[in-house]
Chains A and B, each alone.
Chain A
Amino acid sequence: MHGLINRSIQCFLQDTYGPPLWRSVAEESGVGGDGFEAMLNYEDRLTDDVLGAACRHLDKSREALLEDMGTYLVSNPRLENLRRLLRFGGSNFLQFLHSLDDLRGRAKLAVDDLDLPDLEVIDDSPVAFRLECRWHWPGSGHLMTGLLRAMADDYGALVLLEVQDARNGVETVVVELLDSAFSEGRSFDLAARAG
């Protein structure tokens, strides 16, 4: 698993549950004292061990933890860069949703060895969608559900999300767009801030 993803898991655990929890998880799973390097690659097994240890300590399911992490990735101020990159997908939630088809390609443009889930958006009706997630690693559906929930808030859209059980390695998120302009959402200035 790419260091960027491992590092995200580390930051999520540190920021959400505090450094002591991360230290226990790192020690149990055999991650070095400095944690993950964002620009290096690691064995998938290590990522599994980290998540497994975190689930045990927090008494949470892997699914719930990944969903919380998806939300964290968009809503934590420390990861404002990532939120901005996602907002480049479109000027409203619907455009953003459709841009997810390109997410993997966009990520590869920036970091060519970053392997994000392969996403496909299927329009069932103008307000009902299915997001099909294919990945070498289970949990992408829950990760995307958390991320979509936070992005809907970001755009000010009101959505209903539900993950279906994985079938043939495909994890599907059912998205119902109830109101695309439910609240004001957060601002997005196309120009990057100085600094």
Chain B
Amino acid sequence: MHNNMPISHRAIAQLMPMHVWLTPDGRIRAAGRCFQKLCRDCDLEGRLFTEVFDIRRPRSARSINGLLKADGVQLQLSLIAPPHTTLKGVVVPLEKDGGVLINLSFGIAVVDAVADFGLTLDDFAATDLTVELLYLVEAKAAVMDELRKLNTRLQGARIAAEEQAFTDTLTGLKNRRALEHVTARLQDHGQDFGLMHLDLDYFKAVNDTYGHAAGDHVLQQVAKILVEETRVNDTVVRIGGDEFVLVFEGPIDMKRLDRVAHRIIERLEAPISYDGAQCSVSASIGTTMSSFYQSPDWETMQRDADMALYASKRAGRSRVTLAAIQDRRGQVASG
């Protein structure tokens, strides 16, 4: 069966813009239009192929003789001159001592090669998917860029939403930001209120012994108790970690405030179970009331409640201290 295909070099050049035709002694005889761009200013014709390319694989094809015998072998090679572009190729021998034909491709290095050698759409065969690959690289980059922008905007929106939120996400109590609103309102209206600072005792031990999940559970149970022990109009705030602020609005006296504080401590001291463990905490509390002050201002009251709280801590924890007021009315209260 006659299966020799007569084909001109012109036709080969049409089909394979990256081919190179070597003479039997391994010199470049002719090449495709894309191949010629690999060596921008020099004439490749007549040069030894192995002077232009470093053949990395297979090792047997590194010499001219080996290359000429490498029928159908896949080559990995790179340009000896900068930018040392890597290429892959296939070698086939030509009949009647015509030398060999090598067809090359850039493989994944094509993105850089297009820039390095100033390649154009017409440098690639119409059947070559390289242009589609380049299109995809750019399209994907543009899409990724849009997605990155979207993510940045969403991230910004999330931060803004968090900043505006008034709720402590762990306990469902009000947060510090909400407290600012409450105090501003109270100050504007000038109505009487009681203030309680509460700091958990032995909470660190729960965290250290049973882990943060146990600690979070305890905080949630504490929050539940605080809500149960206050009225609807009162505000319970987790201002951070294991610190809470309670604002009692409306008619309230020293005795009631003290009673509520003691009941809270009593309930908090009941062990809280978590995953088989019994977590025990208590609380130190400092309280003060707006009626103690001639012109109650929030900052002073907070400081006084805080000092009372630390007095409770120093006195051995698990107790309530009423703020000692060096008040203009000359009233000194302590508990």
Contacts and interface: CB of A to CB of B under 8 A. Distances in A.
Interface of A: 4, 34, 37-40, 81, 84-85, 88, 90-91, 106, 109-111, 189-192
A85 B143 CA distance: 12
Nearest to B141: A192
B150 A109 contact: no
A88 B129 CA distance: 12
Interface of B is mostly: helix
A190 B136 contact: no
Contact of A191 (B115, B135, B149): B115
B139 interface: yes
Contacts of B108: none
A8 to B, nearest CB: 12
Contacts of A84: 138
Given A91-B122, A190-B121, A191-B118, A39 B147 contact: yes
A84 B121 CA distance: 12
B131 interface: yes
Interface string B12-33: 0000000000000000000000
A81 B138 contact: yes
A85 B135 contact: yes
Interface in B125-154: 131-132, 134-143, 146-147, 149-150, 153
Given A38-B150, A39-B150, A190 B140 contact: no
B119 interface: yes
A191 B131 CA distance: 11
A109 B119 contact: no
Given A39-B150, A190-B121, A85 B138 contact: yes
A110 B121 contact: no
Contact of B114 (A37, A106, A110, A190): A190
Contacts of A91: 120-122
Given A88-B135, A90-B121, A91-B121, A110 B140 contact: yes
B146 A85 contact: no
Q: Pick the 9 closest A-B CB pairs, nearest first.
A: A110-B139, A191-B115, A88-B135, A91-B121, A191-B114, A38-B146, A81-B142, A91-B122, A39-B150
A37 B139 contact: no
16 contacts: A37-B153, A38-B149, A39-B146, A40-B150, A84-B138, A85-B138, A85-B142, A88-B132, A91-B120, A91-B122, A109-B132, A109-B136, A110-B139, A190-B119, A190-B134, A191-B114
Contacts of A111: 139, 143
A192 B140 CA distance: 13
A35 B122 CA distance: 41
A62 B298 CA distance: 62
Contacts of B153: 34, 37
A110 B141 CA distance: 9
A90 B135 CA distance: 11
B146 A88 contact: no
A111 B146 CA distance: 11
A90 B134 CA distance: 13
B114 to A, nearest CB: 5
